Structure 1
Amino acid sequence: MATKRYQAIWDRICRGERILLDGATGTECERRGVPQVVNTWNSGAALSHPEIVRAIHEEYIECGAEIIITNTFSSS
């Protein structure tokens, strides 16, 4: 099933359509006062403040984001 979704997105890209992704989740976590976990930038927020991360993702969707990416910047 995931392959069909990826194919649909790829088809849209090939047709030159725009697809809106979410924004800077880590920056938004920081703006909302989520403390940074040492050595995880803001990806630790998924464990320490999952309700805030979920709310941020939901707000991006409400604003029109069609793709939500992981909040893992600088966490590997």
Structure 2
Amino acid sequence: MAVPELPRLPDLSDPQIRGAACVWCGVGLIAGQVVDLGERPCRWLTHKASWFPRACTSCAGRPAEETMS
């Protein structure tokens, strides 16, 4: 399954960036009901880093066009 494009980091809340909330809908994530979307490179100002976005099973299971709406 193709993962839809992720939102831009500046558009996300702190819990979404930390992986505590779904990167798309913002719902708090519960152990066992989380989809790890993998390590993503991030450039924040002059620092290079990685972030590890996660999604709820509902959003991760939707086709890309539905998730983005």
Task: Give the alignment's TM-score, normalised by structure 1.
Answer: 0.24
Task: Give the alignment's TM-score, normalised by structure 2.
Answer: 0.25
Larger Rg: 1
The structure with the largest strand share of the pair is 2
The structure with the largest helix share of the pair is 1
